[in-house]
A and B are shown apart, each in its own frame.
Chain A
Amino acid sequence: MRFTQDHEWVALDGDIATVGITSYAAEQLGDVVFVEIPEVGKTLSQGDGMAVVESVKAASDVYAPVSGEVVEANAALGDAPETVNAEPQGNGWFAKIRISDPSQVEALMDQAAYDAFLASL
């Protein structure tokens, strides 16, 4: 798993990247009440707005950690947004992206680097 400084994670399987927000982000947000997931088929560049996560008191933009085409979005979050709090780095995933540039993934932080980054905040 790789991580961005905006607290998104990427899990790569072949050329499909599953993405979501990290446990740290989910905890900071508090109870998630709604997730605006991206449309399947949408093309994203790294850093584009990909999704919006809403808690009761805040709405946070989630940015695409990698460029590519959205091939699947986690519609189950519609009925169960609390999954993002329960399993942010598992069943609480937001979207699967067919990546266009594998080097983007390699350039992201690994677990150790992300843990160090969190410690510095």
Chain B
Amino acid sequence: MRYLPLTPDDRAEMLGVIGAGSIDELFVDVPAAARRDGFVDLPMFAGEMEVERELAALAARNVSAGSAPFFCGAGAYRHHVPASVDHLIQRSEFLTSYTPYQPEIAQGTLQVLFEFQTQVAALTGMEVANASLYDGSTACAESVMMAQRVTRRERAVLSGGLHPHYVATTETLARAEGMDVVHLAAAIDGEDAVIAAIDAHTACVVVQTPNVFGTVTDVSRIAAAAQAAGALLIVVTTEAVSFGLLRSPGEMGADIVVAEGQSIGNALNFGGPYVGLFACREKFLRQAPGRLCGETVDAEGRRGFVLTLSTREQHIRRDKATSNICTNSGLCALAFSIHMSLLGEVGLRRLAALNHQRAREVKAALTGIKGVEILTPRFFNELTVRLAKPAAEVVEALARKGVLGGVPYSRLAPNAGLDDILLIAATETVTAEDIAALKTALTEVMA
């Protein structure tokens, strides 16, 4: 078996050294009733060729995003990742290394994390960032838990523009901790509505910009209102490329910024693995979840990097930890950092501008189509349209015409009563031909 180096001779000799007559003797502690001879319901081993054939057949049953005009967003975005990124993350020393607990032999990983933290802090406009969390939605949930620890208050207010999956994830965690979670009604352009909901028990308000409907909001008024009431402002971004065009949440007064980093360096991967970005004010650092990488020196005075402030974490603090997290999203954070290093500020700004331009082109193409009303007042690369027919049906009809035309809001929130709402994203990967195909297909479907 190609991944098992021991030969039958090896095994026999090793048993002799151990002093056991058979491998079964080493399993002596397993209760007799629980010992199994085999599994009838599972196949036996297969060679590479056979496994590859099966996987390829499964993959072939899917319509990949690149094979059709593609306009799906809603929290995951298709961007072009330079070839060198995927090549570099597959280097043995990055792919097959462990968490850098032995820093002397992990400076590769640690320096990348330090660079990553710097990049995330700069992009979000915040003082400090961590070494990544699982994804944007769990980062959002963790930030609410952190607000509870910092303010010692029990109420979280979630805006009507927050991604419904993020709402659900946050509710799951926050309610387990006994918090009171208020979720405002879905609103295309309603992040400000959280202001009216702030009271003396509010630990945090959570707003998203661009929000799930694509609307961009200046959150400075919300920041002022939250801070006046002693609550924290948590700003969520699901499209990291937007940091290249829009004023950063930090500049607008955020206390904590969480984001989905998938757009930079990482493929769509049907929803995972992704990478959660987390940044906050330095004064809250000791309450922050996740790993932190810090600079120091070695015994010879050379600069090096180590995981630090570990006493917040589960392996030391156990039941008093700031979170139960044990992994970050290491390889995905590496991919993000490599892509970001290739882009630089100059490249990111250009990329963001391109995304916005494509969205404007989509808006122009869809304006005037019967049964299609464009709702998003201020957008980055995602638009919301209201359709004269249920959006889910329209999307299926578009798919039959070979166009992946967006995400119906009802897919994210079936009970919101917004079945006529369609979310359409346009990144730099969208071509003029794609937009023309969308226009043609949508016109036909809505006729």
Contact = CB atoms under 8 A, between A and B. Distances in A.
A57 B286 contact: no
A58 B286 contact: no
Interface residues of A, number: 9
B299 interface: no
- The secondary structure that dominates the B interface is helix
A21 B404 CA distance: 65
A31 interface: no
A56 interface: yes
Nearest to A60: B311
Interface in B270-315: 286, 308, 310-311
A55 B310 CA distance: 10
B286 A59 contact: no
Contacts of B286: 34, 36
B389 interface: no
A51 to B, nearest CB: 13
Contacts of A110: none
A33 to B, nearest CB: 8
A57 B310 CA distance: 7
Contacts of A36: 286
A57 B316 CA distance: 7
B432 to A, nearest CB: 57
Interface in A1-59: 33-34, 36, 54-59
B411 interface: no
A59 B316 CA distance: 7
A56 B306 CA distance: 11
B317 interface: yes
Contacts of A58: 311, 316
A59 B311 CA distance: 6
B320 interface: yes
A59 B315 CA distance: 11
Contacts of B311: 33-34, 54-59
Contact of B320 (A34, A55, A57, A59): A59
17 contacts: A33-B311, A34-B286, A34-B311, A36-B286, A54-B311, A55-B311, A56-B308, A56-B310, A56-B311, A57-B310, A57-B311, A57-B316, A58-B311, A58-B316, A59-B311, A59-B316, A59-B320
Complex A-B, nearest 3 residue pairs according to Cβ-Cβ distance, in ascending order:
A59-B311, A54-B311, A59-B317
